[in-house]
Structure 1
């Protein structure tokens, strides 16, 4: 009897997990296809103007795919769970499972492993694949740009020093208008350097060209103009890919890169709060998907006579979208420094979990 029960549980787990995974992947494929089409409608003309042809369009679509997958995953989880649970209910499969003694929370437990698997895949996607693909895309886009001098300037921290770069060209190997503000251990400004451009010379590192500078003695309130230098080495550990990442703004970052930034070992143009909130949100991705699954669960209470005319799936979809929006709003407030990282990531999970549990318990006691 025990062996039969174990086999039954295994079959049920495999059936429900397979049904959920199939629908989530199907929804993700549809959403990503739509997003790819919209992105290509916007970028096809610039790609063709750069004489990249059809191969360039395919390269862009391929390198953009992980980023779109990451963005579409939460909504795909919500819609996929709603589709699966609604189909189970309308096909009377839920009635059969309930008659066999399966409770609502028992059903939820059978769906948790598949949800966690999707969530862990999302963590790997965000942490390893998306940063690499976006880095490659940014480098390719910069390398094929016929007018890189029109790119935006940016500032960043490199140890105690502050640096400003006018634009990046040749996939990060050429920098235009480099300003370096050297500070001592007390973060006091001691020297400024202004270079017309900088070139990466492989094993020899960076060379600054047409360099002017100022020597600053704040204690004695004295400023001396440094002699003009045609070229000089730039003592920095940064590589071309680092400048591509910095020029891309809020590009996806791996966990190791974020930790290096927080420790001051890697250059950063983001606040510590922004980096910490990003890390917390990334590793809470499985928990977010579990909350979305919980929000979709009330559709199993669709009355048999109502069928497809029920508004319950619409209400669940609206609640799931509200959860995604609230998460994004709190994260934006965390990025702006208005909320500490834990407050910007955790409360939405707790609030919507309690709300979904309340709805399920009320339906159970009817």
Structure 2
């Protein structure tokens, strides 16, 4: 019974510290984001309601992004408080080892990590999609949006810019290739509009057909239906630089069922990183554990929490650098995510073993 009481106490304390740090970090990030976006929001005459809408739709993204740092800081604060109040010394006197302490902190860390995975997989893509559509729909100058390319069912497409929340496209180029990879048709439309009942309609269409090294130029068409399964939400997603993607969307892209402007290596690395997130939080918890060895006489003057915080930040930076190299296809997806976990875990374990044998 006492073991369960200790487990609830330690895990509950860690959970509350992490949630408090997460609320503080998200609040700061929201303020910084609003300082940058309040002027454009007010220029679009969206008022206070627009500011609150922006903050609400941005919240899931900020929550998932702040979880690693929140776990690191929350664990450091909790363990430092337990050490300075002699609670760690009492637990050691009762026979609790360092490994036993770590094991009792794992449940709360895994719960936070799994909640982060669910948030990143289900809530963040939907909220960012809604935010991008709302931002595009209220844009008074959509023609300043960037052009983008993507692949869809053996075709290569280019869109000049998206407007009206994805319901209108401008300057569409569609290049169709045959089974041998050679160009068979190039179609150009000045714009495309979407209606739920009729789907997409291309306007001011010109095309060039290539068959057996012969080029045909059909007569231009004022309007032409566009038989595609793409929806306005797909174009909003493709127009964004690095939109969050759900697991279902990533798998659809990898299998060729959904349009994609990302390489398979980028998608695989993102998927692997998402499901390894609980393990990365466990590594951050392990990096914070050496603060229990703060000498009693040193107290708050000890530099050990600072070194642990630096090690955790270095881990986050290294993971980001490896992921960037994976995105650039300089490393395979596995090497862009796993080595950092292994290296920092071994480093933290060596420090703990050295501290135990002193």
- TM bucket (normalised to shorter chain) is over 0.9
Tell me the equivalent position of 1:22.
Answer: 16
Tell me the equivalent position of 2:313.
Answer: 321
Distance 1:113 1:207 in 2: 53
Distance 1:331 1:32 in 2: 23
Q: Report Cα offsets for 1:101-159 as digits up to 9, x if no partner.
A: 00000000000000000000000011000000000000000000011111111001011
1:174 pairs with 2:168: yes
1:213 pairs with 2:181: no
Shift of 1:249: 2.0
Match of 1:356, SS state, is helix
Shift of 1:184: 1.7
1:239 pairs with 2:227: no
Normalising to structure 2: TM-score of the pair? 0.99
Q: Report Cα offsets for 1:19-44 as digits up to 9, x if no partner.
A: 10011001011111111000000000
Structure 1 residue ranges without an equivalent (≥5): 1-6
1:298 counterpart (284, 290, 294): 290
Tell me the equivalent position of 1:308.
Answer: 300
Aligned pairs (5 A) from 1:20-99? 20-99=14-93
Q: Report Cα offsets for 1:295-335 as digits up to 9, x if no partner.
A: 00000000000000000000000000000000000000000
Distance 1:114 1:227 in 2: 66
Distance 1:62 1:174 in 2: 26
Match of 1:341, SS state, is coil
Distance 1:185 1:339 in 2: 31
Structure 2 residue ranges without an equivalent (≥5): none
1:198 counterpart (180, 185, 192): 192
Normalising to structure 1: TM-score of the pair? 0.97
- Count residues in correspondence: 358
Distance 1:106 1:226 in 2: 76
Shift of 1:185: 2.4
RMSD: 0.7
Distance 2:338 2:136 in 1: 37
